[in-house]
Amino acid sequence: SAVISQKPSRDICQRGTSLTIQCQVDSQVTMMFWYRQQPGQSLTLIATANQGSEATYESGFVIDKFPISRPNLTFSTLTVSNMSPEDSSIYLCSVQQSRTSEQYFGPGTRLTVT
Amino acid sequence: RKEVEQDPGPFNVPEGATVAFNCTYSNSASQSFFWYRQDCRKEPKLLMSVYSSGNEDGRFTAQLNRASQYISLLIRDSKLSDSATYLCVVNRDPEDGGSQGNLIFGKGTKLSVKP
The per-residue pLDDT for range B43-91, each reduced to its tens digit, is 999 999 998 888 999 999 999 999 999 999 999 999 999 999 999 999 8
Select from B105, B42, B114, B34 the least CA-distant residue to B82. B114
Which range among A91-105, B50-64, B95-109 has the greatest average pLDDT?
B50-64
For A45-83, give one letter per residue: b (16+ CB within 10 A) or e.
bbbbbebeeebbbbeebeeebbbbebeebbbbbbebbeb
Q: Is B110 near chain A, with CB under 8 Å?
A: no
Looking at the predicted structure, is the pLDDT value of residue A83 above 80? yes
CA distance A81 to chain B (A): 23
DSSP string across B46-82: EEEE--TT-EEETTEEEEEETTTTEEEEEE-S--GGG
Tell me the C-alpha distance between A107 and A104, whole Å. 10
Mark yes or no for CB contact A48/B101 under 8 Å.
yes
Q: Measure CA B16 to chain center.
A: 20
Q: Which residues of B touch A96 (CB under 8 A)?
A: 101
Q: How far apart are CA A79 and CA B6, in angstroms?
A: 32
B83 alpha-carbon distance from chain centroid = 14
Q: Would you call B96 helix, strand, or coil by DSSP? A: helix
Identify the band that residue B95 occupies on the pLDDT scale cut at 50, 70 and 90: low
- The distance of A16 to chain B (nearest Cα, Å) reads 26
Report yes or no: A33 at the B interface, CB cutoff 8 Å.
yes
At position B62, the amino acid (one-letter code) is A
- Asked whether the beta carbons of B64 and B71 are under 8 A apart, the reply is yes
Residue to test with chain A: of B6, B99, B100, B102, most A Cβ within 10 A: B99
Which pLDDT band holds residue B1 (cuts at 50, 70, 90)?
A: low
B101 touches A: beta carbon within 8 Å: yes
* Nearest C-alpha neighbor of B38 from the set B105, B108, B95: B108
Report pLDDT for B101. 63
Residues 6+ apart with CB under 8 A from A102: A96, B34, B46, B49
Rounded Cα–Cα distance for residues B28 and B50 (Å): 15
